[in-house]
Structure 1
């Protein structure tokens, strides 16, 4: 996200193709299971160079035989499972629509502890097995309830509109079987499912630019003039969406509604305030009774967070969780493991290319008041 594209970036409106759900992976793998060791690197700076000219990173990639991004991490039955995008190299020409970000399947990773062996469980869901899917299988998430594991995924339908689908399995590693239709009322990208302490589950979705969220400003999809549908810099920014899930976890129990993210003055952020406004990659976790909604700011490459007293918000901006990673995109998840909190994220250490990423993990530290310390990756 920040300093890593090895090329000059075009103007901000032409950067739509670079959204955090980008893909790529010159390394294709089969469905066999593989393992790799994870290690920690010197944790002082963000992809800076040392005295020898070598880049320094906070942590090493969790896996290196395929490219992975957008990691959604969960603890199921005492084991850590990671649901990432699978970046692939398609050799498609880059364009403003992000057509070259053409992921086609998901691999699920797991490990028994932070820093332990990482297992790649192979392909858990392929786009060819999703009846309604057109193209571009982007960042997923997962949940467990009713003895079933649910995999939520964004993919463009046959009309090239991003919808959210759901697939089910009796195993956290799949294989997953997709429902025959997308979730009714779903839109955009980056589903993130949060189950509260009362057992109710909520889905957060949304991403502007290539994620199409700005095309839903009227409540209906309008793809006629996409570049004119973004708010002007002095207009209120487009917010993510949230809806409570039904008990069967396969549908929404209510219409999706916009989430408000506001400053300390209580005012919503404007579209031109790209250091604070929502771009994509939302995630929810709860700590000491507070709801923490974190997200990517996109073209300023920050992971920011805001807090509130309800899963619906409004959420008041608090600060930056993570400074820019190497590579244009950033996307994360936050999970508690054995009493400590960790953030899973990605950068481009392995490839140096913003569309071929690798997932990493590091500890998330808080101050006594619950605020999160900023990480330099």
Structure 2
């Protein structure tokens, strides 16, 4: 094989390219990837079983892999009916999971106006409702926002857990150590420094928070359709400063991401239209390597 010039090699390493291979032949979306006991689990919205006209599935799907090469479909492991306070036909949207206290917690946006939390002794379940009501409820909780959806959890180095969620205005609230109760008020997240000449650069949905080298990285979608962009801060509560694009617009109406480290590499999970018959309501989860540049920047993942 002919060797590449050094400059070309450096460029190739600096700009990750997309895997563009779906993790399943089933339609699925809104990835919540986690490394539990050395294995990757991806909790997902079940696009396979929606109407094809809206995001109206009523259960969540789980996929697992020991190596990011072979994937197992663990099935539809949880339905909205586990939450007795929810309508049986309530929409099951973008989920989240976390591990603490020897338990696995599943954060479930139900019906577009509530977030429930379920608990299990194993990543695959069975999960049961950890409460008798919603963790976040638009009708009950001050400053829950127009749509308390898209939950994302960060457990910080000091043990404090945070829940982010929301459309149009990003929200954050502390969680108690039991992971099933909020601790204090729901706060708005402030993001400064959006380009003044780009009206499309604003928060839309899909908040996600990770920490690297003491810096908090807040990634999110700018809308419908949206780019995945990022901002950084020295505190999980912000304020955050806009830094740039992680993933450009896709040919579907939504964009939803998460970032994990596995096998000595950072990975960007997202969804796209990758299977025959796919589109804005029939999406597919995939992933790509993610790299960091100088001064803690994220290198844009190029399609």
Q: TM-score, normalized by length of structure 1?
A: 0.69
Other-structure match for 1:282: 207
Question: What is the distance in 2 between the residues matched to 1:138 and 1:302?
Answer: 19
2:31 counterpart SS class:
strand
Match of 1:205 among 165, 170, 192: 165
Question: What is the distance in 1 between the residues matched to 2:127 and 2:79?
Answer: 9
Q: Is the 8 A contact 1:45 1:58 kept in 2?
A: no
Q: TM-score, normalized by length of structure 2?
A: 0.86
What is the Cα-based RMSD across aligned positions, in Å?
2.2
Unmatched tracts of structure 1, length 5 or more? 1-43, 47-56, 95-99, 209-238
Other-structure match for 2:71: 118
Question: What is the distance in 1 between the residues matched to 2:66 and 2:100?
Answer: 21
CA shift in 2, pair 1:126/1:61, >3 Å = same
Using the TM superposition, give the Cα deviation of residue 62 of structure 1 relative to its aligned residue in structure 2, in angstroms: 0.7
Match of 1:370 among 288, 296, 301: 296
Q: Is the 8 A contact 2:108 2:116 kept in 1?
A: yes
Q: Is the 8 A contact 2:27 2:284 kept in 1?
A: yes
Other-structure match for 1:219: none
Q: Does residue 62 in structure 1 map to residue 23 in structure 2?
A: yes
1:280-314 deviation per Cα after TM superposition (whole angstroms, max 9, x unaligned): 00000111110000000113420000000000001
Other-structure match for 2:179: 249
CA shift in 2, pair 1:264/1:182, >3 Å = closer
Q: Is the 8 A contact 2:232 2:243 kept in 1?
A: yes
1:133 counterpart SS class:
coil
Q: Is the 8 A contact 2:16 2:301 kept in 1?
A: no
Using the TM superposition, give the Cα deviation of residue 151 of structure 1 relative to its aligned residue in structure 2, in angstroms: 0.1
CA shift in 2, pair 1:128/1:59, >3 Å = same
Match of 2:154 among 183, 194, 200: 194
Using the TM superposition, give the Cα deviation of residue 339 of structure 1 relative to its aligned residue in structure 2, in angstroms: 2.3
CA shift in 2, pair 1:90/1:197, >3 Å = closer
Question: What is the distance in 2 between the residues matched to 1:150 and 1:278?
Answer: 27
2:159 counterpart SS class:
coil
Bigger relative contact order, structure 1 or 2, given CA contacts below 8 A and separation 6+? 1
Other-structure match for 1:259: 189
Using the TM superposition, give the Cα deviation of residue 326 of structure 1 relative to its aligned residue in structure 2, in angstroms: 2.9
Match of 2:85 among 129, 132, 147: 132
Using the TM superposition, give the Cα deviation of residue 273 of structure 1 relative to its aligned residue in structure 2, in angstroms: 5.5
2:224 counterpart SS class:
helix
CA shift in 2, pair 1:45/1:316, >3 Å = closer
Using the TM superposition, give the Cα deviation of residue 174 of structure 1 relative to its aligned residue in structure 2, in angstroms: 1.2
The alignment of Structure 1 onto Structure 2 pairs a total of residues equal to 277
CA shift in 2, pair 1:90/1:196, >3 Å = closer
Unmatched tracts of structure 2, length 5 or more? 1-14
